[in-house]
Amino acid sequence: MKISVALIGNPNVGKSVIFNNLTGLKQHTGNWPGKTVEMKEGNFTYKDQEFEIIDLPGVYSLSARSEDEEVARDYLIDNRPDVVVDILNASQLERNLYLALLLIELQVNLVIVLNMYDVVEGRGDKIDIERLSERLGVPIVVTTATKKEGMDELKEAILRAAPNHVAAKLAGAADTTEEQHKPGEDPKRNHLHYHPKLHHHGQYERLRPPAIKYSNRIEKRLKQIVMILDSEPELMERFPPRYLALRILERDPDILSLIENQELKDALLEVTL
């Protein structure tokens, strides 16, 4: 069984260069089902472990306002890749970290890459990588993709970040749950969903507690929302709860349209900032 990896990052951070460095010639390009957005997939092997890697479109956020963002967000939610690699332009940390925070909200298994590190060094800036990794609760790899620097370290970090249950399966447990689908394969199910039963690990994924907490005021609202949602196990199964609560707090129309129970919806909308 392969470990599935998704590459994501802002536009122009060298994402494609890293993708090419990792996969070499073992890649192919297609289109996302029903979308004009390009999709690149590839494979690589590291320490006898096979990885399948997908290059998500370059985005600044995951608000699904453009087709690119929609594709990236749906892929992360629907397919729950084993490891998500967020590539940052190390010389533009402030803006690039925004997407990283959104991915932390999604509670994915994240690896952060600080690419274009030569620019940072050339400029004489100093980044305390260890401290940054600690603050974000995410392993960080430093690369200069154009010079192919840091690629082995990145592969190692991806391998380490792969969740335990995947590792267990690699150890020999048979994969029994073949019933899985990806967005677009089944038009009736082409929607935002996070359904462990359809999820290709065949079990509930254990979500890591988020390292980044917002202000008390916001966290309190999130707890309130999660408590209200507790009576709706179906929704809670679909999305990581913290992510779900944040989107409801933000009044995300896609998520709100999934809530059919009007009473519940009203109760949720009463929680305001």
Partner 1 sequence: MKVSSEILDVEEGVDPQIVLANERYSIIGEILCDVYEPGHAKWRWSDSLDKVFLNRYLGLPIFLVIIWSMFNFTFQASAVFMAIIEAIFEWIGSYTSQIPIPWLASLLTDGVIGGVGFILVFVPPIMFMYFAISVLEDSGYLTRAAFVMDRIMVRMGLQGRSFIPLLLGFGCTVPAIMAARTVDGESNRLTTILVSPLMSCAARLPVYVLIAGVFFPDIAGTIVFMLYILGIVMAVSMALVFKRTIFKEESTPLLMELPMYQVPTFHGSIIHMWERSSIFLKKAGTYLLAGAIILWFISNTGPGGFGVPVEESFVSILGHFFEPIFAPLGFNWQIVAALIFGLLAKEVVVEAIGIIYAVQGEAALAGALAASITPISAIALMVFVLLYTPCIAVIGTIRKETGSNKWTVFSVAYQIVLAYVAALVIVVVGGLLIG
Write down the least CB distance from residue 149 to partner 1, Å. 19
Write down the least CB distance from residue 177 to partner 1, Å. 35
Is residue 101 at the binding interface for partner 1, with CB under 8 A as the rule? yes
- Scanning residues 176 to 215, which ones bind partner 1 (CB under 8 A)? 212, 214-215
In the chain, the amino acid numbered 97 is L
Is residue 135 at the binding interface for partner 1, with CB under 8 A as the rule? yes
Is residue 231 at the binding interface for partner 1, with CB under 8 A as the rule? no
Is residue 147 at the binding interface for partner 1, with CB under 8 A as the rule? no
Write down the least CB distance from residue 164 to partner 1, Å. 28
Query: Do 149 and 114 contact (CB within 8 A), yes or no?
Result: no
CA 119 to chain centre: 26
Q: Do strands 38-46 and 49-55 pair parallel, antiparallel, or not at all (unpaired)?
A: antiparallel
Give the SS3 label for residue 145. helix
Query: Do 111 and 157 contact (CB within 8 A), yes or no?
Result: yes
Angle between the N-to-C axes of helices 15-23 and 151-161, in degrees from 0 to 180, rounded to the nearest 10 = 80
Q: What beta strand segments (E) does 132-197 contain?
A: 140-142
Q: Do strands 49-55 and 27-31 pair parallel, antiparallel, or not at all (unpaired)?
A: unpaired
Is residue 128 at the binding interface for partner 1, with CB under 8 A as the rule? yes
Is residue 65 at the binding interface for partner 1, with CB under 8 A as the rule? yes
Write down the least CB distance from residue 119 to partner 1, Å. 8
Residue with tokens 């608000």: 63
Minimum CB distance to partner 1 smaller for 23 or for 96: 96
Residues forming a β-bridge with 267: none
Tokens coding 42: 């590839």
Q: Which stretch binds partner 1 (CB under 8 A): 45-53, 118-126, 142-150, 194-202?
A: 118-126
**Interface residues toward partner 1, by CB under 8 A:** 10-12, 36, 60, 63, 65-66, 91, 93-94, 97-98, 101-102, 119, 122-129, 131-132, 135-136, 212, 214-215, 217-218, 246, 249-251, 272-273
